Chains A and B, each alone.
Chain A
Amino acid sequence: MTASKRNRALTPTELDRFGAELDALRARTVAQIGRVDADYIRRVVAVVRYTGLLGRLLLMVGAIGGAFVAWLFWPGVILGTALLALSKILENMEVGHNVMHGQYDWMRDPHLDGKTYEWDIVATGDNWRKTHNYMHHTWTNVRGMDDDIGYGLLRLFPEQRWRPFYLLQPFIAVVFALLFEWGVAIQELRVGRWFTGKTKHRAMWRKFVPVGRKMGKQMLKDYVLFPALAGPFFLPVLLGNVVANVIRNLWTYTVIFCGHFTADAEVFPKESVRNESRGHWYLRQLRGSANLSGGKWMDLMTGNLSHQIEHHFYPDLPARRYAAMAVEVREICGRYGQHYDTGSLPRQFGQVMWRILRHAWPSRPRARRPLVRAEAVEAQG
Chain B
Amino acid sequence: MNAALHPASHRPRSRLRRLIAPLVVPQVFDFWASRLHPTWSWERPLARIVGRSEASADAVTLLLAPNRNWAGRRHEPARAGQHLMIGARIDGALVSRSYSLSEAGRADGRIAITVKAIEGGKLSRHLHRDARVGDVLELGPAFGEMTLPARVDGRWLFVAAGSGITPLMAMTRQLAAQGMPVPLTLLYWARRREELCFVEELRAIAAAHPNFRVRFLLTRQEPRAADEDAGRIDASLLDAHIDDLAARQVYACGPGGFVANARGLIEARAQAFAAEAFTPPPRAVEDTGTVAVTLARSGRTLELARGESLLTALEAQGLKLNSGCRMGLCNTCSCGKSSGATRHLHTGDVHAEPVSSLRLCVNSATSDLVLDL
Using CB atoms and an 8 Å cutoff, list the residues of chain A in contact with chain B.
30, 34-39, 45-46, 49, 105-111, 113, 115-116, 118, 134, 217, 225
Contacts and interface: CB of A to CB of B under 8 A. Distances in A.
A35 B3 contact: no
B94 A111 contact: no
Contact of B92 (A35, A118, A217): A35
A110 B92 contact: no
Contacts of B94: 107-109
Interface string B1-42: 101001010000000000000110111101110000000000
The 9 nearest A-B residue pairs measured at CB: A38-B92, A108-B94, A111-B27, A35-B92, A106-B320, A34-B91, A35-B91, A116-B3, A49-B31
19 contacts: A34-B91, A34-B92, A35-B92, A105-B320, A106-B320, A107-B89, A107-B92, A107-B94, A108-B93, A108-B94, A110-B3, A110-B6, A110-B44, A111-B27, A111-B30, A115-B1, A115-B3, A118-B25, A134-B299
Which of B3, B92, B322: most chain A CB closer than 10 A? Answer: B92
Contact of A37 (B92, B299, B322): B92
B210 interface: no
Contacts of B27: 111
Nearest to B43: A110
B289 interface: no
Contacts of B320: 105-106, 108
Nearest to B87: A108
Contact of B8 (A46, A110, A113, A225): A110
A217 B25 CA distance: 11
Interface residues of B, number: 25
Given A38-B89, A107-B93, 19 more contacts: A34-B91, A34-B92, A35-B91, A37-B92, A38-B91, A38-B92, A39-B92, A45-B31, A46-B31, A49-B28, A49-B31, A49-B32, A105-B320, A106-B92, A106-B93, A106-B320, A108-B320, A115-B3, A225-B23
Given A111-B26, A111-B30, A30 B3 contact: no
Interface in B57-115: 87, 89, 91-94, 96
B177 to A, nearest CB: 36
Contacts of B32: 49
B282 interface: no
B43 to A, nearest CB: 9
Contacts of B25: 118
Contacts of A115: 1, 3
Contacts, number: 48
B318 A30 contact: yes
A108 B22 CA distance: 24
A35 B130 CA distance: 15
A225 B89 CA distance: 36
Contacts of A34: 91-93
Interface of B: 1, 3, 6, 8, 22-23, 25-28, 30-32, 44, 87, 89, 91-94, 96, 299, 318, 320, 322
Nearest to A30: B318
Nearest to A120: B25
Contacts of A113: 3
Nearest to B6: A110
A45 B31 CA distance: 9
A225 B20 CA distance: 13
Nearest to A316: B298
A39 B93 CA distance: 11
Contacts of A107: 89, 92-94
Contacts of A217: 22
B23 to A, nearest CB: 8
Contacts of A109: 94
A111 to B, nearest CB: 4
A106 B26 CA distance: 20
B28 to A, nearest CB: 7
Contacts of B28: 49
Nearest to B94: A108
Contacts of B1: 115
A92 B31 CA distance: 17
A94 B23 CA distance: 24
A108 B97 CA distance: 13
A46 B322 CA distance: 26
Contacts of B91: 34-35, 38
Nearest to A117: B27
Contacts of A118: 25
A45 B30 CA distance: 12
A101 to B, nearest CB: 12
Nearest to B322: A108
A118 B92 CA distance: 22
A115 B298 CA distance: 11
Contacts of B30: 111
A54 to B, nearest CB: 13
B316 to A, nearest CB: 14
A219 to B, nearest CB: 13
A149 B44 CA distance: 41
Nearest to B22: A217
A108 B2 CA distance: 11
Contacts of B322: 108
A296 B26 CA distance: 31
Contacts of A108: 87, 93-94, 96, 320, 322
Nearest to A133: B298
Contacts of A35: 91-92
A320 B8 CA distance: 31
B130 to A, nearest CB: 13
A111 B26 CA distance: 8
Contacts of A36: 92
B42 to A, nearest CB: 10
A115 B30 CA distance: 19
A271 to B, nearest CB: 21
A115 B2 CA distance: 9
A39 B28 CA distance: 17
Nearest to A41: B92
Contacts of A30: 318
Contacts of B89: 38, 107
B3 to A, nearest CB: 5
